[in-house]
Structure formats: C-alpha cells, structure tokens
Structure 1
Amino acid sequence: MDETKYETAMQIIMHAGNAKSAALMAIDAAAEGNFEEAEAQLKEADAEMQQAHHVQFDLTQAEACGESVEVNIILVHAEDHLAMAIMAGDFARRFIALYKSMAE
C-alpha cells in the first residue's frame, strides 16, 4: 500500500473513531437527561461520519474508474471502524429517543 492509500485508510479510522466517540457521548448525555448536549454530540457524530464517508467514497470512485484499490489489513481495519461508527450512531438515536420517552 503506497503512502497515500495508507493515509486514506487512516483518515477513515480517525473520522469513524471520532464519530463513534461522539455517538457514545450522546448516549451518556441522554442518560443524564441532558438532551441538548446529546443532540449536539449526535450532530458532531454525523459531521465526522460524513467526512469518513467522503473518504470512503473517494476509494469507491477510484475503484469504479479502474484504479485498483489494494485491500490489506489497514483498510479492513478502517472499514471495521466505519461499520462500528455507523452502528453507534444508529444506537445513539434509539437510546436518545428512549431516554426522552422515559423522561416524559
């Protein structure tokens, strides 16, 4: 994997990790009844996820244009981070709704 592709995978890891962390902080805030903070953290998670998806899309587009994307453990690790971040965001939305329902 050349240096550019290595950095691309690391960008996905970074943004996905940030998204997952923000989603988990949103759940924590909602558990404490701080729904304004929960929504702010969820917004941050969405922004980071958008960045991760943008980087992933560039790889997908390159592959579609005939540029072979080398699959190795770093890229697999990056995709794993992205999948877990997506799940964390989905769960955060459900937990926030549940905590709001319980608070009412």
Structure 2
Amino acid sequence: MTKDKYEDAMQIILHAGNAKSAALLAIDAAAEGDFEEANRQLEEAGREMADAHHVQFGLTKAEASGEPVDLNIILIHAEDHLTMAIMANDLASRFIDLYKREAGIAA
C-alpha cells in the first residue's frame, strides 16, 4: 500500500469514527429529550460520513481506473469502521424518531 493510500485509509477511519461518535451522541441527546442537540449531532454524523465516503470513492475510482488498491488489514479496518458508522447513523435516526414519538412529538 502506498503512503497516499495508507493515509486515505486512515482518513476513512478518522471520519467514520467521528461519524459513529456523533451518531451515538445523537441517541444520548434524544434519550434526554434534547432533540435540537440530537439533530445537530446527526447532521455532524452526516458530514463526517460524507467525508469518509469521499475518500472511499477516491480509492474506488483509482481501482476502476486500473490503479490497484492493495487489500490489507488497514484498509479492511477502515471499511469496517465505515460500515459500523453507517449502521450507527441509521440506528440513530430510528432511535431519535422513537424518542420523539415517546415524547409525543411528531417524527
């Protein structure tokens, strides 16, 4: 793996980790009834996810253009983080809706 692609994998890990953390903070805020903060954290999670996807797309584009991307544990780890962030983000949206319904607020 080249230095640039290694750095790309690390950027995916960074942004995916930030997205997952923000999604979990969104759930915590909703559980406390702070839906404004929950929405703010969910938006932050979305921005971080977009950044992670942007880097991932660059690797995908390179591979499709004939520039092989070595599969190694760092890249697998990055993809795992991204997958978990996607799941956390999806679940956060559902939890927020659930907490809103529980509070009598239209979701």
- The amino acid that maps onto 1:61 is K
Give 5+ residue unaligned stretches, structure 2.
none
Give the aligned partner of residue 92 of structure 1: 92
Alignment of 1:1-104 (within 5 A): 1-104=1-104
Deviation at 1:21, TM superposition (A): 0.2
Q: Percent identity?
A: 72
The 2-side partners of 1:57 and 1:3 are apart by 17
1:8, distance to aligned residue in structure 2 (A): 0.5
Aligned-residue offset at 1:3: 1.1
Encode CA deviations 1:32-65: one digit per residue, 9 max, x unaligned.
0000000000000000000000000000000111
1-structure distance, mates of 2:55, 2:5: 11
Matched residue SS, 1:33: coil
How many residue pairs are counted as aligned between the two chains? 104
User: After TM superposition, what 4+ stretches of structure 1 lie above 3 angstroms from structure 2?
Assistant: none
User: What TM-score results when the alignment is normalised by the length of structure 2?
Assistant: 0.96
Q: TM-score, normalised by structure 1?
A: 0.99
Deviation at 1:5, TM superposition (A): 1.0
State the shift of 1:10 in Å.
Answer: 0.1
Secondary structure of the corresponding residue to residue 66 of structure 2:
coil
